Amino acid sequence: MPHFFGGTAWVDPEQLRPGCVRSTAPLQHLIFPRYVAEAPFSVQPLSAAETVFRLMHQLVNFDNLSEHGFTAVSRLARQVTAYSLTYSDVSTVVAWLNEKVAVRSKQSEGVVEQPVRAW
């Protein structure tokens, strides 16, 4: 196990859970989080149009993509469920994500998901 400055160490994820590292993973959700001090936790599902609008604001290499990435972003927005999140406490986000993972696990036969952990 490699050790780094300050006593930190890198652990190969495969040592913790064999088979957990994959080259691809299906994208099912996009989350656009916004921290607001002392705000209550809120989740708003986004339409495909709202998702495209938000993604286009994040697209930094649009000049390098055909049609400035609009076709790819539009396709992605139709394939996923997107949410706008407002939070002040990351533990509420973690709890919400774990709930989403649990629902997906129940819907997918044979798929076992690991809970999200706050850093």
Q: What is the pLDDT along the chain (119 residues), one digit of tens a residue?
A: 566 666 677 778 888 888 888 778 788 889 999 999 999 999 999 999 999 999 888 877 766 666 767 888 899 999 999 999 999 999 999 999 888 877 665 555 455 455 545 44
Q: Are strands 42-46 and 81-87 parallel, antiparallel or unpaired?
A: antiparallel
Structure token digits, residue 58: 């994040």
- Residue 17 half-sphere exposure toward CB, CA atoms < 13 A: 6
Per domain, the residue ranges of the chain are 35-107
Nearest to 10 by CA among 1, 21, 23: 1
How many Å apart are CA 78 and CA 75, to the nearest integer? 5
